[in-house]
Structure 1
Amino acid sequence: MSLRNHLWLLSVPALLGGCAGTVENQSAGPAPTAVAAARCSTPDVTLDTAFLTGNIASCEPLGDGELSISIEPEDAPPINCSAWYAFRLTPQQAGKITVNMTYEHCGHRYWPKSSSDGINWTNLPQDAVEIYEVDGVRQARITLTLADQPLFIAGQEIISSTSYRQWIDRTAASPLVQSWSLGQSAEGRNIPALTIKAPAGQPREQIILIGRQHPPEVTGALAMMPFVETLLSDDPLARRFRERFETIVVPMLNPDGVDRGYWRHNSGSTDLNRDWGPFVQPETRLMDKLLGEIETDPDRKLRLFVDFHSTQKDIFYTIPDDNPTNPPLFLKKWLDRLQVRMPDYAINRDANHNLGQANSKNHVYKIYGAPTVTFEIGDETDRQLIIRLAREAAIAMMESLLGDGAGAERE
């Protein structure tokens, strides 16, 4: 199957359907520490969070068909304002329901999405959501007419550790993929990993892709999945790439935060993407170990590190072009090529963003000299555009790496 035909099959429901199952199937956490659940009821409806990624701070019935929930971070502010929420509404009978979403800190960020099966998600219509401010903090009120079946409401599509296991199982069915474990999180959850290369090959040049350091940044995951699947295409470009490059994928570095429905942190009250260098947390220590093993192996060399995230807009955070890298000027070449491939879409790059932070991009460049990028997708970017951007970015990456002599010795 050609690369074009292979990717034509991709859609957001297909990605989630292949990796998510139903949300009900995700209710049993794999870790020894249980996910705390909230629950409250009126005579008409019950609201609960007893499923992976389900999280609100508290719930209070206000009367028939009306509830109030509070949405707060896992740790006391200051914390990045990634105000995640996910809850289930189970009606006793069909009818109208109102949920008041209250925030003490940061305010409402994610436009509510709904699903009855955990696979097909849609934005709630404009007339179902009222956004207003109290003392300068954005609040939200949802008014819905429920049918006679449960409905899930969340800030983004739900992609939990169960989702990743199912996507990895499907992806690892390819002879090009080896599935393995990077290690365990602080609470004992598995941190899955994939290696992609030509069968029986031993490529020297290494690419590392990671994701979900920050739990609610689901659009980064929606980009990573088609990006990875593009590398597995039967297209001649992808075949040549796999012969020369080995790609290591760590799609969910923070499974504790993901399954608990946290805003930003892991279970150690730490923003993992500020722990690169200190390496206080077990999750980042595992990445430090992986990178160190590549660095000390004379038969391997790191060529590129990509960290998938979400923010308010699509943007590539990179290191500056005047910083020497191996391959030289690769990031400029990659993103210039991507712009050529997507002439109707403006590639947004910031090469000077937070260069002093202890984040993955800065640490990996400083220690290993490889090109590094934080690939950010907007919270509300059109989901079909995410797939297209991920696909074209993967193609442009392969074209640039194969076309600029990256395999030459530049030690």
Structure 2
Amino acid sequence: MKTPVTALLGLLSSLCLSACHSGHPATIAPHVRHTWRFPESGVTFHDEFSQGRLNGCQQTGPDQFHLTISPENKPINPSPWYAFQVRSEQPRQLRLHLVLTADGSVLRPRLSTDGKTWRLIPKEDFTANRATHDAWVTLQTGPRPVWVAAQELVGLSALNGWMDRKAALPFAREAPIGQSIEGRPLRSLTFSETDRAQYVFILGRQHPPEVTGSLALMTFVDTLTADTALARRYRGRFKTVVIPLVNPDGIEHGHWRSNLGGVDTNRDWKKFSQPETRAVSGALVRLGKAPGAKPCLFLDFHSTGKDVFYCQPDSEPTSLPAFTSRWLADIRARFPGYKFKREDAHNVGVPTSKGWAHQTFGIPAITYELGYSTDRKLIRQVSQGAAESMMTLLLEENSKTTR
């Protein structure tokens, strides 16, 4: 028999779960950055930097430490993010026990001594157990600090620096479209060498930990803005609108999934309860619904455990029939060893940006997910090839309609 306390806890849990899946905000647990010092062993941990996240640290042995990693709210998508720095006064080997307080699997860490150059920790120094939501890491430390993170740090500084360089191009135009909850600008860049209002819309980083999506987006856009004959022809026919940082607050605070309002922004494309989704959708509608405008394609870059394109089925009417199949077939032909899936029935009816864009503009709308562990060189190669293929196919379609 359930006690009154048990029944109340069950009711509260059900309400929390219902709120999360209905798109209502879940209360955020503010992350307080901290430094943990252990004078007897001369070891220091801290997460006092952008994207830093470590929720607890205890010494459990002479060279052994228990590290707690918690999300910003619960229940939450199992995409654990952690990032911290560790140093020891004398060279020594540490055993770190990373323990999640929510569902998920601890990703194999990436290490850096400068915050810019990263390497995967050797396989023999890492053991994870998804069933128990924990992992063990063997780490060599010394006076020089070591960054330890679920993915390399590609955050606000890196992305804003990249946008600054792109905004300086002679055919680029930047337009602020709004602010995040914490007042960070939501930046929109348009690249074009034409007055024609044919648009390709590109979004990125709705989810804070999804670094590989940003890596792909940057290479993809670099290819569209390159000084090549293909890119110049493309820019002479199409305008590309890029919003690479939809959720800057979540990135800054090292969130697993949500914005500062406790909402998964890629589940808010119906209610538009958050300033970020209202600003981004409003900007795209103002462009795409203007007189004479012709949106052509929508791409949203993400990350997950595998490389996958989430699309509409070919039977679904779009302004470019069979474009998606042709594009993905060309990517496979260019990179026969590249393993990815196409899924047409993912999140049907869920208020994602992809579903909203297809419904609003009647165009192919695709979520491109890059694997967390996909080789970074391969990401750059495929993203460049995918951008070249997209430009070629869109130019072919354009030539058909202008004959």
Q: TM-score, normalised by structure 1?
A: 0.87
Counterpart amino acid of residue 72 in structure 1:
S
Please point out which of 279, 289, 303 is paired with 2:272. Answer: 279
Aligned twin of 2:62: 64
C-alpha displacement of 1:132: 3.5
1:229 paired to 2:226: no
Aligned twin of 1:55: 53
1:357 paired to 2:350: yes
Please point out which of 86, 89, 95 is paired with 1:89. Answer: 86
Aligned twin of 1:18: none
Please point out which of 181, 203, 206 is paired with 1:210. Answer: 203
Q: How does 1:171-250 map to 2 (within 5 A)?
A: 171-198=166-193, 201-250=194-243
Aligned twin of 2:361: 368
Query: Is the contact made by 2:46 and 2:84 (CA closer than 8 Å) also made in structure 1?
Result: yes
Counterpart amino acid of residue 339 in structure 1:
R
Distance in 2 (alpha carbons) for counterparts of 1:406 and 1:218: 36
User: Secondary structure of the equivalent of 2:381?
Assistant: helix
Please point out which of 385, 399, 402 is paired with 2:395. Answer: 402
Once the two structures are overlaid, the 10-residue window that deviates more, 353-362 or 167-176, is 167-176
Distance in 2 (alpha carbons) for counterparts of 1:208 and 1:144: 43
Query: Is the contact made by 2:184 and 2:249 (CA closer than 8 Å) also made in structure 1?
Result: yes
Cα displacement string for residues 206-225 of structure 1 (whole angstroms, at most 9, x for unaligned residues): 01100100000111011011
Aligned twin of 2:371: 378
Distance in 1 (alpha carbons) for counterparts of 2:135 and 2:391: 43
Please point out which of 32, 47, 58 is paired with 1:36. Answer: 32
Distance in 2 (alpha carbons) for counterparts of 1:252 and 1:90: 32
Counterpart amino acid of residue 123 in structure 2:
Q
Distance in 2 (alpha carbons) for counterparts of 1:46 and 1:215: 26
Aligned twin of 2:8: none
Query: Is the contact made by 1:42 and 1:66 (CA closer than 8 Å) also made in structure 2?
Result: no
Distance in 1 (alpha carbons) for counterparts of 2:352 and 2:180: 19
C-alpha displacement of 1:63: 4.1
Q: Aligned pair in 2 of structure 1 residues 347, 396: CA closer, same or farther (>3 Å)?
A: farther
Counterpart amino acid of residue 104 in structure 1:
T
C-alpha displacement of 1:406: 7.0
User: Secondary structure of the equivalent of 1:203?
Assistant: coil
User: Secondary structure of the equivalent of 2:324?
Assistant: helix
User: Secondary structure of the equivalent of 1:244?
Assistant: coil
Please point out which of 303, 322, 325 is paired with 1:310. Answer: 303
Cα displacement string for residues 19-47 of structure 1 (whole angstroms, at most 9, x for unaligned residues): xxxxxxxxxxxxxxx96203212232110
Counterpart amino acid of residue 267 in structure 2:
R
Distance in 2 (alpha carbons) for counterparts of 1:187 and 1:359: 23
User: Secondary structure of the equivalent of 1:137?
Assistant: coil
Distance in 2 (alpha carbons) for counterparts of 1:218 and 1:391: 17
Cα displacement string for residues 321-365 of structure 1 (whole angstroms, at most 9, x for unaligned residues): 111111222111211222222233244211121111100111111
Q: Aligned pair in 2 of structure 1 residues 220, 407: CA closer, same or farther (>3 Å)?
A: farther
User: Secondary structure of the equivalent of 1:120?
Assistant: coil
Distance in 2 (alpha carbons) for counterparts of 1:174 and 1:105: 44
User: Secondary structure of the equivalent of 1:291?
Assistant: helix
C-alpha displacement of 1:90: 2.4
Q: Aligned pair in 2 of structure 1 residues 98, 180: CA closer, same or farther (>3 Å)?
A: farther
User: Secondary structure of the equivalent of 2:158?
Assistant: helix
Q: Aligned pair in 2 of structure 1 residues 406, 211: CA closer, same or farther (>3 Å)?
A: farther
Query: Is the contact made by 1:215 and 1:265 (CA closer than 8 Å) also made in structure 2?
Result: yes
User: Secondary structure of the equivalent of 1:167?
Assistant: helix
Query: Is the contact made by 1:226 and 1:391 (CA closer than 8 Å) also made in structure 2?
Result: yes
RMSD over equivalenced CA pairs, Å: 1.7
Cα displacement string for residues 72-117 of structure 1 (whole angstroms, at most 9, x for unaligned residues): 110022x100010000112222212222101232132321000111
Query: Is the contact made by 1:168 and 1:179 (CA closer than 8 Å) also made in structure 2?
Result: no
How many residue pairs get matched? 371
Distance in 1 (alpha carbons) for counterparts of 2:270 and 2:166: 32
- Structure 2: which 5+ residue stretches go unaligned? 1-29
Q: Aligned pair in 2 of structure 1 residues 260, 407: CA closer, same or farther (>3 Å)?
A: farther
Please point out which of 105, 111, 116 is paired with 2:102. Answer: 105
Aligned twin of 2:381: 388
Distance in 2 (alpha carbons) for counterparts of 1:294 and 1:177: 16
Query: Is the contact made by 2:102 and 2:133 (CA closer than 8 Å) also made in structure 1?
Result: no
Cα displacement string for residues 348-405 of structure 1 (whole angstroms, at most 9, x for unaligned residues): 2111211111001111111210110000001100110100110111011001101123
Q: Quick check: which has more Rg, 1 or 2?
A: 2
Distance in 1 (alpha carbons) for counterparts of 2:182 and 2:233: 40
- Structure 1: which 5+ residue stretches go unaligned? 1-33
Query: Is the contact made by 2:51 and 2:251 (CA closer than 8 Å) also made in structure 1?
Result: yes
Query: Is the contact made by 1:35 and 1:52 (CA closer than 8 Å) also made in structure 2?
Result: no
C-alpha displacement of 1:313: 0.5
Counterpart amino acid of residue 109 in structure 1:
V
